[in-house]
Amino acid sequence: MKISALVVDDEPIARHAIVRLLREDTDIELAGECGDGVSAVEAIRSGSPDLVFLDIQMPAITGLDVVATIGAARMPATVFVTAYEQFAVRAFDANAVDYLVKPFARERFADALRRVKARLSAARGNDADQAARIAQALQDLRQRDRYLRRIPVREDERVLLLDVEDIVWIRANRNVVQLHARGKVHELRETMATLATRLDPARFARVHRSAIVNIDRIRAIDPWFNGHHVVTMDNGQQLRMSRYQHETFLRLATLRHEG
């Protein structure tokens, strides 16, 4: 049985790469290409493809908006295409949703296509479960979009946009926070408590009243005196973890073990 596939991506190079790989598979029948979310909604509604390769990050109407418009329960089998960092696609992993991270290798594409074929050939009785997984994954991603991805900081006469992934750790100094990143220290006139609410808790954790660390930049966590721990960052900085942050310690240790 032929599988009709629709490819949705606003980047022509990425879209054509997927189309080229699909055309190499005799089980796939190309249903069309879309370069934006509006045409994607129309194509899904009118063509009812079996499979959609759907880019998440598109201007105006995103891949998330496409799913919301169609409805997760009415979406075809979907392989999400994303440029999100690897840590951000844990939402997909947790909900067993197929995805591709740009740039992807031919082997990774083949794996995703193989899995989606297996799902399509299985009994359709699990469609509700798949819809629930898609809805939960997208909810997790929408939650993530609430958090800062870049922070404007002043350097001399310029304003730089600092990627939060470059931040190693953050130190509180009264009503100013110091962002340690790229071998420099940038000051931001904001309280630690306010900034903490705008940082993704999947990436940043408060280890002390005056210190927040980037989980991905931790090198080691070692026991210290009286129930305290010392967190060593990948730039060599050592920070004392408050003994009252025991839950934070357990979460950091778990995340590092899973990584």
The CATH number of the domain where 233 resides is what?
2.40.50.1020
**pLDDT at residue 144, rounded to an integer:** 62
* pLDDT beneath 70: ranges in the chain: 1, 84-97, 122-131, 138, 140-145, 244-259
Question: Three-state SS across 166-187?
Answer: HEEEEEEECCEEEEEECCEEEE
Place of tokens 């995103």: 62
Pair 121, 242 in one domain: no
Q: Are 198 and 151 in contact (CB under 8 A)?
A: no
Summarised one tens digit per residue, pLDDT across range 192-207 is 988 888 888 878 999 8
Residue 247: the pLDDT is 67
* Same-domain status, 114 and 18: yes
Are 63 and 54 contacting, i.e. CB atoms less than 8 angstroms apart?
A: yes
Alpha helix (H) residue ranges in 89-234 = 90-94, 106-121, 127-144, 192-197
pLDDT value of residue 110:
92
Examine the domain organization and report whether 233 and 110 are in the same domain.
Answer: no
Residue 103 preceded by cis peptide, ω within 30: yes
Same domain (yes/no): 184, 117: no
Beta carbons of 218 and 231 less than 8 angstroms apart: yes
CATH of the domain at 132: 3.40.50.2300
104 and 172 co-located in one domain = no
Q: What is the pLDDT of residue 212?
A: 95
155 and 140 share a domain? no
**What's the number of domains the chain is made of?**
2
DSSP label at residue 258: H
Q: What does the pLDDT look like over 203-241, one tens digit per residue?
A: 899 988 899 999 989 999 888 887 778 999 999 999 998
From the number of C-beta atoms within 10 Å of its C-beta (0-12, 13-18, 19+), residue 39 rates as middle
Query: SS3 for 5?
Result: strand
Task: Please identify, among 120, 144, 168, the residue that sits at the C-terminal boundary of a domain.
Answer: 144
Indicate whether 14 and 122 sit together in one domain. Answer: yes
Structural domain of 203: 150-258
Do 167 and 130 share a domain, yes or no?
A: no
**123/182 same-domain check:** no
Per DSSP, the residues of 29-78 read EEEEEESSHHHHHHHHHHH--SEEEEES--SSS-HHHHHHHH-GGGPPEE
Compute the distance between CA of residue 4 and CA of residue 207 in angstroms, rounded to an integer. 51
Residues 90 and 27 in one domain: yes
Which sign, positive or negative, has the C-alpha torsion 46, 132, 15, 119?
A: negative
Where does a domain end: 144, 179, 208? 144
In a shared domain, residues 45 and 123: yes
Shared domain check, 130 and 164: no
- Choosing from 80, 114, 144, the residue where a domain stops is 144
